[in-house]
Each structure stands twice: as structure tokens, then as C-alpha cells.
Amino acid sequence: MKRVITYGTFDLLHYGHLNLLRRAKEQGDYLIVALSTDEFNWNEKQKKCYFEYEKRKQMLEAIRYVDLVIPEENWEQKVTDVQEYMVDTFVIGDDWEGKFDFLKEYCDVVYLSRTPEISTTQIKESLKEK
Ligand code: C2G
């Protein structure tokens, strides 16, 4: 069984995220999503989530491509995650192109194209105008 992992905040879940998750799952048979905790988002990514971690986890677990959701609590956990969960392939959007090449020592690394026309920021901006 080929195991895939990806990381993200997935707040205000949208079809760009789903496009990523579908293609991530296509890389193998079992997809783990390491979901950024509220604290990690705020302290490390300066992102204030609209939905708290438990709600974002619940939504991801309802997606047919997703097999397991684990917390992403820091930038350093990726190597241990890949080893602990026996991951074959790390996948993330190409906005991170090259940033996680150090994982190539442990697994395949795949950067997938982002869905260009949608972002959480854009959604929030357009709602403000309404
Ligand atoms: N994504 C996408 N298309 C979009 C928006 C997002 O393909 N229009 C992808 C991103 O490239 C990422 C995933 O969806 O692979 C989750 O996006 P975010 O929640 O914005 O994740 P990010 O903040 O980039 O967190 O340690 C890595 C970080 O946790 C990644």
C-alpha cells in the first residue's frame, strides 16, 4: 500500500484544496493529511483560522480522498511523520516548490500545481465587498 502525506491549514475549505487532495490521493492508496493546529497557524503562519482545528479536521475526514488526519504542530515534524507513518510520497502545492526537497532523502517529493483562481484570501475579500 502506497502511503501519501500532505500538510496544510485547509481553512475555508474550497475546491482548490479538493483538487490538491484528489491528486495527492492519486499518488498512492492511503492519504494522510497533517492539519495545521490553531496554535501553529497563528504562531508560525500568522494565519487566524475561521474554523477551529476540530471543525477543519471534521471536514477533512468527510472527504473521500482522505484516510487519516493528524495534527501539524511545528515545521520540524515532517521527517518523523514520514518515518513514523511509513510514507512513500510527500505531496504539496507548488507554491512550496523546492521548500521540502530535504525530504527526498526519506520519500518521493511531489509539488502539484495550485488551482490558480481560488484562495481563502480571495473568498474573504469578496465577502467583505458584499
Ligand atoms: N492549494 C491549492 N490551490 C489553491 C489553494 C491551496 O492547490 N487555490 C493547496 C496548497 O498548495 C496546499 C494545500 O492546498 O498544498 C493547503 O493549502 P493551505 O491550507 O494554504 O496550506 P499552507 O498554509 O500552504 O500550509 O507545512 C506546510 C504548511 O502547513 C502548508
Atom of ligand 1 nearest to the CA of 72: 29
pLDDT at 57 (0 to 100): 98
Atom of ligand 1 nearest to the CA of 93: 11
What percent of the chain has a predicted confidence (pLDDT) above 70?
Answer: 100
Phi then psi for 97, rounded to 5 degrees? -40, 125
pLDDT at 5 (0 to 100): 99
d(CA 92, CA 6): 6
Give SS3 for 30.
strand
pLDDT at 12 (0 to 100): 93
Pocket test for ligand 1, best of 92, 112, 122 (most atoms within 8 A of CB): 92
State mean pLDDT over 118-122. Answer: 90
Tens of pLDDT along 47-77? 899 999 999 999 999 999 999 999 999 999 9
Tens of pLDDT along 96-113? 999 999 999 999 999 999
